[in-house]
Structure 1
């Protein structure tokens, strides 16, 4: 019965709901907005930002914007592909950018997920990404800097954590070129669907995952110069139903455009001067991308099966 229900939900969501919901005018692209340093909190709802992070920040302004997307792949394609961004350096804990690297045209990309990944917690910690963002801001004083954190996206690593942090151990094995048979484990949203954890438990863990990032976000604002904006690529849902087909959605999904997914924070920190931005040809990147490592990270964060 559970398998049959999953199949019905998948058909309704993928074959009916998504094509209908993927409509309307595109949101204003992030590169067209006014910022020097842009912090992306992965899967951060507006209401969660307002409740958890807003009170921790010193001044500035907060508003709600429409990202127009329901997942990171859609975010990257809608906002960053199809044009040059030679004035921008992208520092990222999210592996998806590497999957479509040939479609992106930044001055430079720092793949923090590649060597900054925490094997025990199965994610890239915010302090690691922010440190690299600060270094990039110093190294490229005439460039816009994007710092893309994984939090509050699962796995949940705060005090209220629920769910499995070792959803896919293959990344470390791929680094060592070890070929073993591995059993895939469920995500926290699979557990929520089956009733093994409650919605309240997942929401609390999600909020706590954002709290983990608060000190790092504050540090980035304090230690970099320029107009700093904190936003998100998309939001998160915990069983809310899609429209017009009443399919429960958990987590997030590309082309599902519920307000909880598309409406995200846009926090502008108090100004401490502006960066003088100059577009220049991309720097050469001679490092090779480990395709198996990319796939493993994509699996770990739910982008592929």
Structure 2
């Protein structure tokens, strides 16, 4: 998967170490699994700092810690959703905790969500931003009502449903939180910002989530875009991966063209657009080598392939499809 060099903003290794240490200290005393689920079938995320620091490489350390804690809890709910679906009761408890609704919950898992909500609400961000973030997060929870395991759907149904189920919109909302700098309501409604949100959702699905979890998803009976393309075309997963690489390259090029227009017509958005581009690439960098959930190498019954994140000048991008993926 190819990204422009101008998007490449790696996090400071010392920041990764510092945030990681604090996340682990927090996790030692926190309840990270809800009650009522079979023992041994859920495992908390142990390296949330990698996703937080790569996604927001210039973020404030205290806020990166908040985001890492959020991701740890959110990933737990993602695992619940994949296996059993997330009940309306569970969703209501999460959002009541985040909003700080009274009375306070006595469930230790949802108490962690409540503490997280306190951190978000006491951060100095506007109520408008908080409502938008909760709205996008709620969209993800709505999409997680039914379990992914055993779901049968067509390619067409999947590509209609999946973008809103990536969580990428809420994750991009946190860009303003981690830098404590908000877009105005007018800025947020511009096509340039809206297009960045569309890109984030589709690139998550096309570039680095589904293609790095094909083997895992097929073992678990979970729909996956790479598998659905292969079945639709009656071809191998390698060929489907190449098609996804081509789709990714196309949407990156559209994103670059949109960025050029934004710089010309809305220079007031430059700060946010630059952070968003680093965010896009950072998300890919965090996902691809994560062997606990994803993986660079996908070993399948009909084929195998390796996924790589390639950073370079635009002129080098066309070679990706011929030289960047195994035949």
Do the two structures share a fold, i.e. TM-score over 0.5? no
Tell me which protein shows more strand as a share of its residues.
Answer: 1
What TM-score, normalized by structure 2, do the two folds share?
0.29
What TM-score, normalized by structure 1, do the two folds share?
0.30
Q: Could you say which structure has the greater relative contact order, defined with CA pairs below 8 angstroms and 6 or more residues apart?
A: 1
